[in-house]
Amino acid sequence: MNGPPYTPGHHLLKDRTAVITAAAGAGIGGATARRFLEEGARIAIGDAHARRLGETEKALAAEFGADRVTALPCDVTDEEQVRALFAHAEQAHGGLDIVVNNAGLGGTADLVDMTDDQWSRVLDVTLNGTFRCTRAALRSLRAAGRGGVVVNNASVVGWRAQTGQAHYAAAKAGVMALTRCAALEAAAFGVRVNAVAPSLAMHPHLVKVTSEELLAELTAREAFGRYAEPWEVANVIVFLASGYSSYMTGETVSVSSQRA
């Protein structure tokens, strides 16, 4: 089944500044960076892959203007790099309004065979990295005193059991719980914190870490008979980052067509 036509921008984020992690390449982060620019935002993007990040920055700057795009390599497992990314964003764009925590790491391993390193690596990138960036975001937004938005990338696996995904599911369930708790705290200074939970959005990294058999099985579960395009998830992130979701906080929005 063919997907829908690409949705044009409507200036929903005009003159807002956003930090987006894991934004290099063709995944949800890259799609979110493009969607934010199409909606009028300025962006500061980070990614652990410096070469891909540089290529992404160059391409987006050529299309949308160098004054609206800046980038700094950032491994979210490194607190110093997280702080540097946020400081870079504030210096480059004069402030901060939105943070999209997209960085995450998956993989497949049955729990009985999983090593401590496999477990810890997924948790450190996916959950601890989201914690580090959310903390940095709230510190910055509280100090600025003008409100703001944080959007975290969770997963339906945080709700639904799937074999071989104990580490990833635990991490994403943690992201959902972190989102709810952070939202209650951040409401005191006018900041909203929400999350998206995609089911199956196709991108090159997913293909590398998932077997063809599992991808076929997951696709068959979707009511539309296809996976989501990364930009379809990015559209929901735009909604949560925009004024159209002004009364929403602590929520996790499923971006899924999975059958009940």
Catalytic residues: 168
- Long-range contacts from 109-118, C-beta under 8 angstroms, 24+ separation: 109/164, 109/166, 109/167, 110/163, 110/164, 111/166, 114/166, 114/167, 118/167
Which of helix, strand or coil describes residue 197? strand
Query: Cα separation of 198 and 28, whole Å?
Result: 10
Give the pair of three-digit tokens for residue 120. Answer: 């810890």
Query: Cα separation of 103 and 125, whole Å?
Result: 7
Give the pair of three-digit tokens for residue 85. Answer: 């990314």
